[in-house]
Amino acid sequence: MDTDPAGARPRSSPPRIVLGVAGGIAAYKACEVLRGLTESGADVTVVPTAAALKFVGAATWSALSGRPVATDVWQDAHRVPHVRLGQLADCIVVAPATADLIARATHGIADDLLTNILLTARCPVLLAPAMHTEMWEHPATRRNVETLRERGILVLEPASGRLTGADSGPGRLPEPAEIVAAVQSVLRRGPAAARDLTGLSVVISAGGTQEPWDPVRFIGNRSSGRQGVELARTAIARGARVTLVAAHMDVEPPAGARVVRVQTAEELRGAMAVESEGADVIVMAAAVADFRPAEAGEHKVKRGEIGPEVTLPLVQNADILAELVATRGGAERPLIVGFAAETGDHGRDVLTLAREKLDRKGCDLLVVNDVSAGQVFGRPDNEVTILVRSGAQTDVARADKATVADSVWDAVVAALS
């Protein structure tokens, strides 16, 4: 059987993950992270800090993981656990990562088993912060997080919501399922994969806009938001700071993204204008309605008020992608990626129409979907062609949307370099 480059184990073996648990009230949620990782087939060793064990006992971690819990450097000392666990892991994830744990990791303090493992790790490391808002926003914590990110460590953005007691705000542990998805995204790229978007600010639009013509009805484009979410998730796994401008989506945003919610094309237009300032990459993956009702009624229009036929005057929405290109002018940044959902017409095929759109819009890359018969919307997979303004073309065979997203980012990295 083939082995990995270090010869340590067969390539077909399950991924080995160290799940670190720091001492915060969110430690109980790490049980769900552990369950999600083990159910995905991973071999997980839990390393709780002494403070974490005051929230969740070792017996719980052992029962859920099916493995002994590693708690201090003197346990099984002949195996040198503070070195071996870090050396053999395919990924290390700490959830929750408290302000204290983040500070110790930043400054290389190794005063327990978990921080020793973080120092010996040569695999991807993911931290999922959880703490009170004041602690997350403190300049010391912000600086520590930036330092860790500069070193290639993936530090997710915490969620915003209910904390302990009556407190609420940013600092909540991301949902366990999203932490598991982030780990899977890291593992899919392999332990040696470069964090080639580290330090870059990325703005992604996703989902479909909805243009109301009364308080109940709207017109819009079909979009689940799945591809945009996977673009955000994979960019985070590759080290980027991601802002997701989210219209209507059937899926939840990924852990680690800063989310700006919008509904209409005009709201998306305004959000993209604001969020793209200072961005390195802009990806317009949202399905933006080309038209909106000229007037939106203040009350629901009754059938009896409009008769058997309806005439709905429409006006064009702004071309947001073209505006972003025009705003950039002759500057090299931000690099701008557009999406084109095409079906072809009687005289031109999908790629012909897409090349015309690339020339007309002026963006750097255009990701082309053939959406004939609705074959993309809501599906977990996709098949695209990536057109580059220089004339290059990459055909991405049908694959899950996370793999497609990585292909898009590969093209972006090539264009940036």
- pLDDT cut 90: percent of the chain above it: 53
Q: How confident is the model at residue 21 (pLDDT cuts 50, 70, 90)?
A: very high
Are 394 and 297 in a shared domain? yes
Q: Assess if residue 307 is contained within a domain.
A: yes
Taking a C-beta distance cutoff of 8 angstroms, is the pair 92, 125 a contact? Answer: yes
Are 393 and 261 in a shared domain? yes
2: amino acid identity, one letter: D
Angle between helices 81-88 and 113-120 (to 10 degrees): 50
Q: What are phi and psi of 31, to 5 degrees?
A: -60, -40
**Can you give the CATH number for the domain in which 57 is found?**
3.40.50.1950
Q: Which of 235, 286, 256, 202 is nearest to 405 (CA)?
A: 235
**Beta bridge pairs of residue 316:** 291
Q: Would you say residue 346 has pLDDT above 60?
A: yes
Which tokens belong to 197?
Answer: 């978007």
Range of the domain at 176: 16-189
Are 140 and 251 in a shared domain? no
Taking a C-beta distance cutoff of 8 angstroms, is the pair 125, 153 a contact? Answer: yes
The predicted-structure confidence for 326-335, as pLDDT tens digits, reads as follows 999 888 889 9
Are 177 and 244 in a shared domain? no
Are 90 and 142 in a shared domain? yes
**Can you give the CATH number for the domain in which 321 is found?**
3.40.50.10300
CA distance 294 to 315: 5
Residues with a known catalytic role? 221
The mean predicted confidence, pLDDT, of the chain is 87
Are 352 and 383 in a shared domain? yes
Are 176 and 233 in a shared domain? no
Beta strands in 131-190 (DSSP E): 154-155, 159-162, 168-172
CA distance 84 to 315: 64
Q: What are phi and psi of 357, to 5 degrees?
A: -65, -40
In sequence order, which residues have a C-beta less than 8 Å from that of residue 20 and are 6 or more positions away?
47, 48, 49, 92, 93, 94, 95, 97, 101, 114, 117, 118
Angle between helices 99-106 and 139-150 (to 10 degrees): 50
- Cα 240 off chain centre by: 9
Q: Assess if residue 402 is contained within a domain.
A: yes
- Look at 66-70, 71-75, 142-146, 229-233 and tell me which has the smallest mean pLDDT: 71-75
pLDDT given at position 160? 83
Q: Where are the alpha helices (DSSP H) in 244-318?
A: 265-275, 303-306
The residue-averaged pLDDT of 218-226 equals 85
The residue written with tokens 């094309």 in the block is 265
Residue 292: HSE in the Cβ half-sphere, 13 Å Cα cutoff: 18
pLDDT given at position 277? 92
Q: Assess if residue 194 is contained within a domain.
A: no
Q: Would you say residue 75 has pLDDT above 80?
A: no
Give the number of residues written for the chain.
417
Are 141 and 83 in a shared domain? yes
Are 359 and 407 in a shared domain? yes
Q: Would you say residue 389 has pLDDT above 70?
A: yes
- Look at 101-110, 146-155, 294-303 and tell me which has the smallest mean pLDDT: 294-303
Are 81 and 173 in a shared domain? yes
Rounded to the nearest 5 degrees, what angle is found at the Cα of 242, between the Cα atoms of 236 and 245? 130
- Total count of domains within the chain: 2
Taking a C-beta distance cutoff of 8 angstroms, is the pair 409, 235 a contact? Answer: yes
Picking from 156, 189, 222, the residue at the C-terminal end of a domain is: 189
The residue-averaged pLDDT of 97-122 equals 94
Classify each residue of 342-370 as buried b or exposed e, where b means 16 or more C-beta atoms within 10 Å of its C-beta.
Answer: beeeeeeebbebbbebbeebebbbbbbbb
pLDDT given at position 3? 41
Are 32 and 120 in a shared domain? yes
Q: Assess if residue 211 is contained within a domain.
A: yes
